[in-house]
Every structure is written in C-alpha cells, then in structure tokens.
Amino acid sequence: MRVLVTGVAGFLGSHLADRLLAEGHEVVGLDNLITGNADNIGHLLGHELFSFFNHDVTQFLYVAGELDGVLHFASPASPVDYLNFPIQTLKVGSLGTHKALGLARAKNARFLLASTSEVYGDPAVHPQPETYWGNVNPVGPRGVYDEAKRFAEALTMAYHRYHGVETRIVRIFNTYGPRMRPDDGRVVSNFIVQALRGEPLTVYGDGSQTRSFCYVDDLVDGIYRLFLSDRIDPLNIGNPNEFTINQLAELVLEILESQSGVDHRPLPVNDPKVRRPDTTAASELLGWSPQIELRDGLLKTIAYFREVLDLDSART
Ligand code: UDP
C-alpha cells in the first residue's frame, strides 16, 4: 500500500509510520511541526519508502500519485498543548479532517481517523464502551479538543454514508512511550522527567482520579489491525488496566528508587475523574489485547527520557 500519515512527526504518527514501513508499505508523511518533532522521524529520512512534507493539513492538500490509505493523526493531543493551541486544535479536527477526507475520497483510499477517549468527556458510564455518547462540556477549556474530535467523527461518518468512503475511527486512550515530548505536560512524561531530575512529582488534585495507560507498541498494533479490518463504527483501543494517579506516582518513584515525593497542584478544570476503555469489541473483532504491563512500558520510556535529557544537558 501507499499511505499518507498526517501528524507523522508526532509521538503516535512516527510510531505508526515505523510500523507501516516495517510491513512493507510506502509512507507519505505530513506535519507542520507545531507540536510534532522532526527528531521523531530523523531515522526515516533517506528511507526509500518514506517521504516527508512540512505542511499544515488545514490548507489545500495535494498529493501526487495514487494512495491506498489516509491516516489522519495530526492534532495537538496533550491537554497542555491544546490549551496552548486552541484554534489550531479546532481547525485541524474540523478543516484538517475535511481536507484529509476529501483527499481519501479523490484517491479512492481508505481513511482512518485518530479519535480519542476525550469524546466521552468526564464519563458517567464506567468503563467506557463505544456505545456511550459521552459527557462533554463544549465550552470548557478541553472543549476545543473534545468537540473537534467529536465533529471529526461525525464528518468521517458523513463521508462514509454519503460518499461511500471506506472509513475507520479509533478512539485512543492514554498512551505513553518513547518520543513523548519531555514538556508535553502529560502525566507519564511529567512524572518520569520530574523523578529523573530529582524534582517532586506534580500530582493534580488529590490523585484519586484514574487513567488506563497503554504502551505505544500495543496501541499501534491495534490501530494497524483496525485499519485492515472492516469495522466502520468507532473502536476503543487502549489498555483496560486502571490506575489512580497516586498509584502511578508511587510506581515511578519506586522504579527510579527516587525520594522526590509528590507536590499536590490544583486539578485542571473538567479533568475526567475516571477513564478506562471497554475493549471487548477490539478483542472480539481484531483478536487484539495489550501485551505490555505498565511497569515494563515505564522502564522502556524511562530509558528513552534518560537519553533525551542527557542530550539536553550536554547541549546547555
Ligand atoms: N496529571 C497530574 N500531574 C501532571 C500531569 C497530569 O496529576 O503533572 C493528571 C491530570 O490531572 C489527569 C491525569 O494526570 O487527571 C492524566 O493527565 P494527562 O495530561 O496525561 O492526560 P488526560 O488523560 O487528562 O488527557
């Protein structure tokens, strides 16, 4: 296959490109690098099946030649990023999804939307099955991301129903691993970077809120299987093992044998109190379940951050 990946220099986009190339496909990558990092695809430059274009997907999109797939991963995705780039987040979810769907339609290509567990908002149903419609505050600070992705899902289904585009929608739950930015503000990257620097871990609120953390290789495997499947309805991909933020902090401190302790900070507005995917559909349809335990995934992620932080301190 020859496929386009938007957001290819991001955390997930770059791992997805690696997997697609490893499967023998050709990857055309786009990114405007506002939250993506060119270092994430540095190892791919020069690969004969990979090409990269610095382009904003909300602008007119022209790609020469045939395409079999369009995988739309461009978007700020950490709460800190989408608070810093609220308009860009709304634009890439709406205008960017429109452009990417239009391209898929013109090329007769299969389209996959990277959606999110944020479509469920602060969920009143737990764990969250795909059939749950969500509990989102449209005008809260997170609304820029949540509503952009909800709109993107609606647009994707409209292109499927009215134009017959072959579409797939993955709802991605919290994911971690190498190539997260040290400053992206997410909890796993924050805690690891803070512990490595000997700083206290910033726990927001009382730390009783929960998340379910999926290692990036597991996530990409689920997405690849979904892309090849015939599932049209949205599908949750994420790790169903649920932890409180306090438990995560304890685990990071224990693994790193750190005495840093924790520093409580205010809970961000509309921060979901619980989150855990119901992955019954993914396991039944795709035979998929995550393989990597949190401790093992954290070890791999810590090794990555050690390297990145060493490089940073060598530069300064
Ligand atoms: N969080 C925290 N300390 C941090 C960063 C995040 O306690 O330094 C909390 C945050 O309030 C949320 C959870 O960790 O309850 C996950 O936050 P993240 O930003 O990773 O993503 P979210 O799941 O909220 O989209």
DSSP string of 206-220? Answer: TS--EEE-EEHHHHH
How far, in Å, CA of 270 to CA of 122, rounded? 7
CB-ligand 1 contact for 203 (6 Å cutoff): yes
> Which residue ranges make up each domain of the chain?
2-175+214-237, 177-211+241-276+292-308
- pLDDT of res. 313: 72
CATH code for residues 2-175+214-237: 3.40.50.720
Is residue 120 flagged as an active site residue? no
Which residue among 172, 211, 269 is best mutated to probe the pocket of ligand 1, counting the most ligand atoms within 8 A of its Cβ?
Answer: 211
Model confidence, pTM: 0.97
3-state SS, residue 259: coil
Does ligand 1 lie within 6 Å of residue 245's CB atom?
yes
What local confidence, expressed as pLDDT, does residue 315 receive?
66
Q: Which of 120, 122, 77, 145 is nearest to 274 (CA)?
A: 122
User: Using a 6 Å cutoff on CB, does residue 250 contact ligand 1?
Assistant: no
Average pLDDT for runs of 10 along the chain of length 316: 98 98 98 97 97 96 96 97 96 98 98 98 98 97 97 98 98 98 97 97 98 98 98 98 98 97 96 97 98 98 95 68
Rounded Cα–Cα distance for residues 235 and 231 (Å): 8
Distance 307 CA to ligand 1 centre (A): 23
CATH code for the part of the protein at 177-211+241-276+292-308? 3.90.25.10
CA distance linking residue 27 with residue 6, whole number of Å:
10
| Model pLDDT, residue 33 | 98
Q: How many Cα atoms are found within 13 Å in the side-chain-facing hemisphere of 12?
A: 30
Catalytic residue among 62, 120, 132, 145: 145
Non-local (6+) Cβ contacts of 78 within 8 A are 35, 184, 185, 186
Site to probe by mutation for ligand 1, drawn from 12, 137, 186, 243 as the one with most ligand atoms within 8 Å of Cβ, is 186
Instruction: Extract the tokens encoding 41.
Output: 């695809």
Question: Among 116, 132, 97, which residue's Cα sits nearest to residue 174?
Answer: 116
Distance CA 23, CA 13 (A): 15
Eight-state DSSP code of residue 38: G
For residue 316, the model assigns a pLDDT of: 60
Closest ligand 1 atom number to CA of residue 201: 8
